[in-house]
Amino acid sequence: MKKDSDSSKLHELYSSEEIKKRVQELSFAISNDYVNRELNIVGILKGAFIFLADLVRFLTIPCYIHFLRASSYGCQKITSGQVEIQHTLNLAGKHILLVEDIIDTGLTLNSVINELRIQHPASLKICSLLDKPAARKTSIKVDYTGFTISDKFVVGYGIDFSEHYRELPYIAELKN
Ligand code: IMP
Ligand code: MG
């Protein structure tokens, strides 16, 4: 299928250089905080795959990398509120850092956190590239945030609209 890449709909918010600089800062902060602990990074697929790949390459400490799949959006711009989680993780007693692309209502992350807490990890922290606090429906403490943005729909750098635009190296607002 041909990809919709109508660039007139895209308004760049963060260039790949700006993203790289911020991801490096986050990675150094994480390296510092986990210096004497075994770090287990859990990426939330699919949206976090590029962010996670860049983040781990700036770490100055070793880490384990895991993934789980969470989906709530389907093909809409508004969350369905129904979150489906798929994983085979066993992280009991481990230090978990959840890596997410973007937090909107918080419902996805809330479901993931509840699912992982059942396993009694030693600690559980959150790292999200983007945060849209205006849309929040549940309170979530985000430990590491790349950029805080207003309530707009964004794509690129792993983030999609109906599986389009993930490959863009920058982050853009998707206009109607
Ligand atoms: P939440 O459950 O409402 O917090 O939404 C979280 C998930 O919805 C993210 O992991 C994204 O996959 C998706 N999402 C939220 N906001 C956007 C957006 O602006 N663009 C694309 N996907 C988004
Ligand atoms: Mg998504």
Q: CATH number of the domain that 104 lies in?
A: 3.40.50.2020
Give pLDDT, residue 73: 55
Q: Using a 6 Å cutoff on CB, does residue 104 contact ligand 1?
A: yes
Cα 130 to middle of ligand 1, angstroms:
9
- For residue 36, pLDDT over 90 is answered with yes
pLDDT of residue 74: 54
Q: Does residue 105 line the site of ligand 1, with CB under 6 A? A: yes
CA 160 – ligand 1 centroid, Å = 9
Q: What is the mean pLDDT of residues 125-152?
A: 96
Q: What is the token pair recorded at 99?
A: 């890596």
pLDDT of the residue at 75: 56
Residue 28 main-chain phi, psi, to 5 deg: -65, -40
pLDDT band at 78; cut points 50, 70, 90: low
- Report the chain's mean pLDDT, rounded to a whole number: 93
Provide mean pLDDT across the span 137-164.
Answer: 96
Q: What is the mean pLDDT of residues 112-133?
A: 97
CB of 71 within 6 A of ligand 1: the answer is: no
Predicted confidence (pLDDT) at residue 29 exceeds the cutoff of 80: yes
- Helix%, strand%, coil% for the chain, nearest 5: 25, 30, 45
- Going from the C-alpha of 166 to that of each of 5, 28, 116, 123, 158, the distances in angstroms are 11, 25, 27, 30, 4
Cα dihedral across residues 29, 66, 54, 71: positive or negative? negative
Looking at the structure of the chain, the number of domains it has is: 1
Q: What residue numbers bound the domain in which 101 lies?
A: 3-174
